[in-house]
Structure 1
Amino acid sequence: MKKRTLVALIPAALIILPYLSCKKATVVTEELPKLQAKSEITSRTTSSFVTNPKNLNIVMFVPTDNPALPDYKTRLTSLFVHFQSWLHTEMLRYGYDKYLGLSKVDSTGLVRFVEIPAAGPQSDYPYGSGSKILAEINTYKAAHPAEFSASSHTLILLPERTDGGGQPFYGSGKNCFALDNANMTVDKIPNASSNYIGGMLHELGHGLNLPHNHAKYASEEPSLGTSLMGSGNVSFSKGQPTFLSEVDAAILNQNEVFQNTIPSGAAYESATAGISLSAAYNSTAQAINLSGTFTSNKDVSDILFYMDPDANGEGFGSNTNYNAVAWRFSPGAGNTISGTIPLNELYYKNNESYELEAKLLLKNGSVVVQSYHFDFLGGTPQIGLDKSAKFYQNANYGGYGVSLPPGEYTTANLLALGIRDNDVSSVSFGFGVKVIMYDGDNFTGSSTTLTAGSSYVSKFNDKASSIKVIEL
């Protein structure tokens, strides 16, 4: 059994909860004019910020030898009001009049922080200690449930370490981590020495279900600046133009902590769903046209496409979508899919490989993902020219990889082509094919059918003994 290096993208109906980590914030030196904090007043406003039926949980996790700063509740309340206002303004760009929900302490009018004493000193909680911290938080939550909102989203803050060691600063599922110090205040935007403020907002985005994505190179970057979920940690901290992409706004629009009323269904409930997608290259229009259909037993609000280049030859399991450019389209009549990807919106289009992620965004906030792969060759996308599937030894398209055109392959056929028996862990796809893998020779035994790429074949890992690649 091979060790998985990343959580998979796999079955068509799988709802994924990605592990989203980012590089540590870097030091910057420019001085820019200061931004002014804003607060939004609405019918749901409590004091100077908005609360919703479900709100973001904010935890201050305090090691035994590193106390929280005494002013953090007042100082960070102003910062979170600024974050709330900024997110609302950005969502209004796309017609979404929604606010991130922040809980209020009625007696003080400040944002509610759940302060949790840690079991150990700061050295017990290095960068990779997120799961350990979450275990302690869950223990505390079980004993003090009334201190938490009913939402599943939590931002965990730790006082900045005083011993120079590392600490968590990333997103993991619906949780995210950041640090607090005296400079985490609206008055320090722009900040000449740290990107931690923008880093906190960026990691909060991950904790609110947002993956990395880059600005569109032609229509967004020149006018709007840097996508928050690209390198927005740097630009936001420096007071430079930073924006929320349309796909991110659409995802937040369905997020449970952005709802001003309680939806009828359960948030993030999984769906039985699938996507059938075709792509065609229009050389005249210099665009990729996407079309297809989808099925889902739960309501779909949006169709999202992420075009993710393997720009540095690192493989799709390691470049974490920083260069992915994304589009949002509305579902068509009869559950149809239709959209156009102009090539001038892509920066990498010479000889790079691409992963195209097609996502169904459900009204309950869940996302269903299918992935496809193709290459650019000499500036031309090779779509429709290679109806094949590639089988890899390890998860995340690692180890050896062997491409198979449409056909039927017994164990002997696979061995002759370089695929060992019971050795397939991930599969990448072109368009226009599906794959059936069998755990017995000559297409016998149990089987699994794939209609799109899979970075880890889950329950069928290391089981394939015969394979059919079928042209659609």
Structure 2
Amino acid sequence: MKTLNTNLIHLKKWVLFLFLISCSQMEEIPIIEDDENLEEETFDYTSNNPYNLNVIYFVPSDREENPDYHKRISEIMLDGQAFFLKYMKHWDYGEKTFGLLKDQSKNRVKIHVIRGEKPASAYPYEGGGNEIRKEVDAYFAESPSEKSSDHYLIISSVNNPATGGANPADVPFYGMGRYAYALDYPGMSIEDLGKDGVAGSEATKWIGGLLHEMGHGLNLPHCKEKVSEASNPNMGTSLMGAGNYTYGKSPTCLTHSSAAYLNNCQVFAETQGNFYGPVNSSIKTILAKYENGHIHISGTFESDVPVTDITFSNRPETDAGGYQAVKWVEKPDGNGFEVNMPISEFWEKDNMGYDFSIVRHHTNGANTSTAYAYTFENDIPMINFGDRDELDKNNWTILDFSSEETSGEGSTGRISDVIDGKPETYWHSRWTSNASDYPHHFTIDMSQIQAVNGLSITQRNGQRRIKDYKLYVSDNNSDWELLISSQIPNLPGRVYIDLEETASFRYFKFEAISSHDGQQFAALAEIGFY
């Protein structure tokens, strides 16, 4: 009996051995799956919006899609859509947010995968955005029915994890016009927002950064929260300020000004229309003063496209990017406007210049702006703009000038533009050929002797602003007297310089001595007297 049992045990071991051998051989035989199981999952993308943000996942030729990118990016976009909706409602713009084509039941957003023609090195931070845009534009030109708006969010695949250096210097990470660029690293997830440690901080930086740059692609400029908003748990840090470092970690918001821009953005529209067409709009009158701790601005404007809101922006001259700009929003009263801005809401005062802009938000999504300038001195704003009774320039004549740009600045750049009454046009020294150098000058005949109490001067809203200047006056265009030797602030907009006493003259010569940017070129939008 013992021998029989022993034999049975050996037999069982032999059968088990044959079974294992058989299984091993079977594993090497490819299994043919049902074709239906190999098909990619399909989605039914819809939207209630007539226009939707084009979301692109861009993969350079030497990189690959990160795992689960569709799920992760979809969840990020849907979370961002809810965030924008929250603050549009908060600022009384209703149930509005940016449109997305999405499959509601599967919680997925439509993402266009575009595989780059070149390796990642061809799409660097500097200049890479334009290279990617060429391929994105070609993709939608070939498939125009796939384009759902004029706004694009382009997310580049970065295959190294965030802890290994997913650096924006590796790929474009900014907004240019209606194109926004961001990145996706392996495992980037909305679920990491608010977590402690590296995962949480990286999620805040890159997801918050994605939504910040997307904001630029939706027409938004930089904007800081007001002082009182920073400590409000329902507001906190402005997304378009430093919000890419707080999103998901501490209170982060859209400011009223950001919501006013978005209200007329194409992808926030609830009905079809014509967007971003030309607009003729200008400030007709403006009064400005500081009183009882408030900067009070009022005036009138004109526009051939209706205005829904007006933003009043205050940007420190030391803040070129506008990250510290504090803004107020008011509804127009017909063609009039009025705002009271308490200086207690300003972050920076002390002694500095400010660029003040009045931005009209038009129903077609366009935004027009007029700039002025003022300064803080010892925490008190010195408001030196507002309407003066300026002299009529219709009979003024240009007698002499050092140079002008007749081709490189398009329809402007001519010396006549410095007295045409339009701050959007400007005189520019010649640069397309035989570029001239400082000093630059022009001489004007006012047609008769005029009594003058001050100078009105407007810097170009752009580059080549003049710094030091001299103003000479004459009764006969022969004998000249130095009237003013000073500097113009490095700010766009009109500045008034009061004279110590009334001066009378017929001719004046403006001499530009130096520039704020250190270059040899000069530009000036307007000059006048009051």
> Which residue, 248, 272, 275 being the options, matches 2:258?
248
Q: Displacement of 1:119 after TM fit?
A: 1.2
1:325 matched to 2:326: yes
Name stretches of at least 5 consecutive residues in structure 1 with no aligned partner.
1-45, 420-424, 434-440, 445-454
- In 2, the alpha carbon distance for the partners of 1:271 and 1:393 equals 20
1:225-374 map, 5 Å: 225-237=236-248, 239-263=249-273, 266-283=274-291, 285-310=292-317, 314=318, 319-333=320-334, 335-374=335-374
Query: What one-letter code is carried by the residue in structure 2 that aligns with 1:189?
Result: L
- In 1, the alpha carbon distance for the partners of 2:309 and 2:321 equals 22
Flag the 1:404–1:415 CA change in 2: closer, same or farther, 3 A. Answer: closer
8 Å CA contact 1:268–1:364 kept in 2: the answer is yes
Query: What one-letter code is carried by the residue in structure 2 that aligns with 1:323?
Result: Q
Counterpart position of 1:143:
142
8 Å CA contact 1:198–1:232 kept in 2: the answer is yes
Quote the RMSD (CA, aligned, Å): 3.9
Name stretches of at least 5 consecutive residues in structure 2 with no aligned partner.
1-42, 387-453, 499-505, 510-515
Counterpart position of 1:199:
209
Q: Displacement of 1:146 after TM fit?
A: 2.0
1:401 matched to 2:468: yes
1:67 matched to 2:134: no
**Worse-matched range after superposition: 108-117 or 401-410:** 401-410
8 Å CA contact 2:465–2:522 kept in 1: the answer is no
* Higher gyration radius (CA): 2
Counterpart position of 1:95:
92
1:375 matched to 2:375: yes
The alignment's TM-score, normalised by the length of structure 2, stands at 0.65
1:11-26 map, 5 Å: none
Q: Deviations over 1:135-187 (max 9, x none)?
A: 121122211212221x1100011011549662110000111000011342210
Work out the number of aligned pairs and report it: 389
- In 1, the alpha carbon distance for the partners of 2:307 and 2:290 equals 28
Q: Displacement of 1:130 after TM fit?
A: 0.9
- In 1, the alpha carbon distance for the partners of 2:508 and 2:212 equals 48
Residue aligned with 1:88, SS: helix
Residue aligned with 1:240, SS: coil
8 Å CA contact 1:389–1:404 kept in 2: the answer is no
- In 2, the alpha carbon distance for the partners of 1:366 and 1:309 equals 24
Q: Displacement of 1:275 after TM fit?
A: 1.0
Flag the 1:355–1:406 CA change in 2: closer, same or farther, 3 A. Answer: farther
Q: Displacement of 1:222 after TM fit?
A: 3.9
1:182 matched to 2:186: yes
Using CA pairs under 8 Å that are at least 6 residues apart, name the structure with larger relative contact order, 1 or 2: 1
8 Å CA contact 1:388–1:405 kept in 2: the answer is no
- In 2, the alpha carbon distance for the partners of 1:426 and 1:212 equals 17
Flag the 1:159–1:385 CA change in 2: closer, same or farther, 3 A. Answer: closer
Q: Displacement of 1:383 after TM fit?
A: 1.2
- In 2, the alpha carbon distance for the partners of 1:91 and 1:338 equals 23
Q: Deviations over 1:232-260 (max 9, x none)?
A: 000004x2100110111111111111122
8 Å CA contact 2:257–2:311 kept in 1: the answer is yes
- In 2, the alpha carbon distance for the partners of 1:199 and 1:218 equals 24
The alignment's TM-score, normalised by the length of structure 1, stands at 0.73
8 Å CA contact 1:276–1:293 kept in 2: the answer is yes
Q: Displacement of 1:391 after TM fit?
A: 6.7
Flag the 1:189–1:346 CA change in 2: closer, same or farther, 3 A. Answer: same
8 Å CA contact 1:50–1:99 kept in 2: the answer is no
1:105-124 map, 5 Å: 110-124=108-122
- In 2, the alpha carbon distance for the partners of 1:407 and 1:228 equals 54
Flag the 1:427–1:196 CA change in 2: closer, same or farther, 3 A. Answer: closer
8 Å CA contact 1:325–1:346 kept in 2: the answer is yes
Residue aligned with 2:72, SS: helix
Q: Displacement of 1:51 after TM fit?
A: 4.1
